[in-house]
Chains A and B, each alone.
Chain A
Amino acid sequence: MLEKTGIPTDDDLKKIIPDKERLAKGPVVIIECFQKIPCDPCAISCKFGAIKPFKDINDLPQVDFNKCTGCGICISACPGLAIFVIDKNYSEKESLVKLPYEMLPLPEKGKEIYALDRAGKIVSKAKVVRVQKIKNKTNIISISVPKNMAMKVRSIKVEDKNQ
C-alpha cells in the first residue's frame, strides 16, 4: 500500500496508465502522482494542453493522452519527480523509459546500467540512449529496457568509478 511503503500498487497504477492502443502509438506520459497536494507546475509546463489546467491547486493531474506528444518537458518540471515518458515500441524488443535523475555521476550515453523497479530492486539491465542535462538540474535519462519491463522500471543505478 502506497501510504505505508511508498510503492504505488497495481490498483493505483491502473488509474493513471493510458490504454494499450495509446501506448502502442508512441511516446506518452505516465504521471505517478496519487495524492492531492498543492502543486501545479506540470500543467503549466505542458505546451500542448495534454496535462489539463488545474481548477484547484490541489487537483491531481488529468492527462488527455491524445494531446500528449511524449515530449517530456513535464519530467523535469515536476517537483515530485513523479513523471515518466514511455515509448512502448521503441524497437522490436525494447521500450524506452525517460526518467528524472538528480544523482551524480550521470550515466554515459551508450553504456549499460542497472534498471530498478519502484522498490529499488534491480530488475534488468538497460542501455543509456540519451542524457539530457536540464537547467533546473532535474536531468532526464532515456534508457532502453526489455518490453515487459517498461511499466516496471522507474529508476537506475549508476556505478560510480570514483568509489
Chain B
Amino acid sequence: MRETDIAIIGGGPAGLSAAIYAASLGAKITLIDDGLELGGQLIKQTHKFFGSDTQFAGIRGIEIAKKMIQEIERHKNIELITNATVTGYYEDEVITIIQGADGNIMKKLKAQRIIVATGASENMLPFINNDLPGVYGAGAVQTLMNLYGVVPGNNVLMVGAGNIGLIVSYQLLQAGIKVEAIVEALPKIGGYLVHASKIRRLGVPIYTSHSLKEVYGTDCVEKAVISEINKNFEFIPGTEKELEVDTICLAVGLSPLSDLLWQAGCQMKYVAELGGHVALRDDNMKSSLDNIYIAGDVAGIEEASSAILEGKIAGLNAAVSLGYRVDNFLELNINLRKELKGLRANPLSEKVKIGLEKALIKREVD
C-alpha cells in the first residue's frame, strides 16, 4: 500500500499552503484534489485580493493559484493525486481514493497525518420553480465563465450580496452580461462595501431586505419575482417586482464539507457563525484526534487569505509532530497565529470570531 507522512485532502488555498509549508520541512506529502487542475476556487477568482501586502494582497486569485502551484511543483516530496475524491477514512489510518472521470480507479493510502482542507459546498434556496434550467449556484457560474469561457445566460438576477454574490456580479458584467439586480435578504450588504460600490456605479441596483419569491418559465427561467421581506424574513404583500431574467444565480452562503471528519470520529459541533458543522480544533488547527488537522472553509467559512494562513499553521504543526525540524518553530507558529488574528481584527469578522471561540479546544501548549 502507498504510504505517506501527510495526506492533504483538497488542493484549494488551504491545502496548497499546507502542502508547501509541510514539504519545506522535509515531510513526504500526498496532495489529493478532485479538480482537473489544482487551486480550488482560487482559479476562478479574477479579482484582486485584499489582505496584507506580505500575503498576496492586490494580486488576482488566479495569479495566486499559479504562484502556489509553481511552488508545489518545485517540491520533489509532494506527490499529487488529482481528479480524485477521497471517499473514506478508516481506523487503521487508511484513506480510500476514487480517481478518474468514471471513478474506476481505486487507491488506498496510509498516512501518519491527515490535513482535511475540503472546503465548502454552496447552499440552496427554496423557492417555486427552483429546479428550472437557468437556476445556478454562483460557483457553477464562475466555473462556466472563468474556466471554460461559457456565458450562463443573458440577464441575471443575483441572489445574495455577500462577497461571492458581489464578486460574481462584477465578473458577469465584465463578461458583457446584464445583471438586472442583486437581492439580499438581510437589511445590510454582507460583502465588502467597496465591491458593492463598484457594481452599483456600473448601474446594478442592490435591494437589501429583499428576496426571491418565485421564478416563472416553461422550459427554462423566463421571469423572476422579487419581494421585500420583513424582520422575520416573511414576504411583504404588495412589494413584488417582476424582473425579465433568464438566469438566477444563487450566492446564499456556504456550508463546510465535513463528511470525512464525521467519519473519522472527530468531535463535531454545529456552529452557525462558521456556516454549519465543524470539527473542534486547537490553536494549531489540530482536531480532537491527534493525527487529523483541518484548514480553510471546512474549519469555518472565511476568506481565502485566512484559509492560506490556516493551511500554513496546519502544515507546520503536522510536520513538526512527525519529528521534522525547523529553526525557531515556536516563534514561527506564534507569528502565523498573530497574522491570522490580525486579518480578523475588523468588525466584519466579529461573527467568525464568536464562532471560532465556540469551536476551539483550549490546550496548555505553550
Interface residues of chain A, those whose CB is within 8 Å of chain B, are 2-8, 32-41, 44-45, 56-58, 77-82, 102-104, 116-121, 136-138, 154-155, 160, 163
CB-based closest 10 A-B pairs:
A80-B194, A120-B203, A6-B196, A6-B200, A79-B48, A58-B346, A39-B50, A41-B58, A155-B201, A36-B346
Q: Is B82's CB within 8 Å of the partner chain A? A: no
Question: B208–A4 contact, CB under 8 A?
Answer: yes
Q: A7 touching B200 by the CB < 8 A rule?
A: yes
Choose among A3, A81, A138, A160 the residue that contacts B194 (Cβ–Cβ < 8 A): A81
Query: In the complex, A58 Cα to B344 Cα: how many Å?
Result: 8
Total number of A-B contacts with CB less than 8 angstroms?
Answer: 123
Is the pair A57, B52 in contact by a Cβ cutoff of 8 Å?
Answer: yes
B49 touches A102 (CB 8 A): no
Residue among A6, A137, A160 having the largest count of chain B Cβ atoms under 10 Å: A6
Which residues of A have CB within 8 Å of B200? 5-7, 118-120
B residues apposed to A, CB below 8 Å: 47-53, 57-60, 173-174, 176, 187-189, 192-204, 206, 208, 305, 342-348
Chain B residues whose C-beta falls within 8 Å of the C-beta of A34 in the assembled complex: 193
B residues within 8 A CB of A33? 194
User: Are A6 and B189 in contact, with the CB atoms below 8 A?
Assistant: yes
A-B contact pairs, 19 of them (CB 8 A): A2-B193, A3-B188, A4-B188, A4-B189, A5-B208, A6-B199, A7-B200, A37-B348, A38-B305, A39-B52, A40-B52, A57-B52, A57-B342, A79-B57, A80-B195, A103-B173, A116-B202, A136-B58, A155-B202
Instruction: Name the CB-closest residue of B to A104.
Output: B174
What residues on A are CB-neighbors of B344 within 8 Å? 38
B345, A57: Cβ atoms closer than 8 Å: yes
Q: Name the B residues within 8 Å of A37 (CB-CB).
A: 50, 192, 194, 346, 348
Alpha-carbon distance A8/B193, docked complex (angstroms)? 9
Instruction: Decide: B176 and A160 in contact? CB cutoff 8 A.
Output: yes
CA distance A81 to B170 in the complex (A): 12
Residue of A nearest to B192 (CB): A37
Q: Are B194 and A82 in contact (CB under 8 A)?
A: yes
Given A40-B53, A41-B58, A80 and B198 touching (CB < 8 A)? yes
A77 touches B194 (CB 8 A): no
Closest B residue to A81 using CB positions? B198
Given known A-B contacts A6-B206, A35-B348, A40-B57, A118 and B201 have beta carbons under 8 A apart: yes
CA distance A117 to B203 in the complex (A): 9
Residues of A within 8 A of B194 (CB): 32-33, 35, 37, 78-82
A117–B202 alpha-carbon span in the complex (Å): 9
**Distance of A53 Cα from B187 Cα, bound (Å):** 34
Chain A residue at minimum C-beta to C-beta distance from B203 = A120
Query: With contacts A32-B197, A41-B57, A120-B201 known, is A103 near B342, CB below 8 A?
Result: no
Q: How far is the CA of A160 from the CA of B188 in the complex (A)?
A: 34
Known: A36-B348, A41-B57, A118-B201. 10 other contacts (CB 8 A): A8-B197, A35-B192, A38-B342, A39-B51, A57-B52, A79-B50, A103-B173, A116-B203, A118-B200, A120-B203
A138/B48 contact (C-beta < 8 A), A3-B189, A38-B305 known: yes
Residue numbers in B under 8 Å from A154 (CB-CB) = 201
B181 smallest CB distance to A (angstroms): 12
Task: Please state if B198 and A38 are interface contacts (CB–CB under 8 Å).
Answer: no
Using A37-B50, A102-B174 as known contacts, say yes or no to A6 and B347 having CB atoms under 8 A apart.
Answer: no
Find chain A residues with CB under 8 A from B48 CB.
Answer: 79, 136, 138
Known contacts A82-B194, A120-B203; is-contact A57 B343 (Cβ 8 Å): yes
Q: How far is the CA of A120 from the CA of B208 in the complex (A)?
A: 18
With a CB–CB cut-off of 8 A, which chain B residues contact A104? 174
Alpha-carbon distance between A104 and B173 when the two chains are bound, in angstroms: 10
Bound state CA distance, A34 and B195, in angstroms?
A: 12
A38 touches B201 (CB 8 A): no
**List of A residues within 8 angstroms of B51 by Cβ:** 38-39, 57
Residues of chain A contacted by B189 (CB below 8 angstroms):
3-4, 6
CB distance from B179 to the nearest CB of A (A): 11
Contacting pair B345 A117 (CB below 8 A)? no
Given contacts A38-B305, A160-B176, contact A4 B345 (CB under 8 A): no
A116 and B346 in contact, given A6-B193, A39-B51, A103-B174 (Cβ under 8 angstroms): no
Smallest Cβ-Cβ distance to A3: which chain B residue: B188
Whether the pair B50, A80 counts as a contact (CB closer than 8 A) is yes
Residues on B with beta carbons closer than 8 Å to the beta carbon of A7: 197, 200
Q: B197 to A82, Cβ gap below 8 A?
A: yes
Measured CB to CB, the nearest residue on chain B to A36 is B346
CA distance A40 to B176 in the complex (A): 30
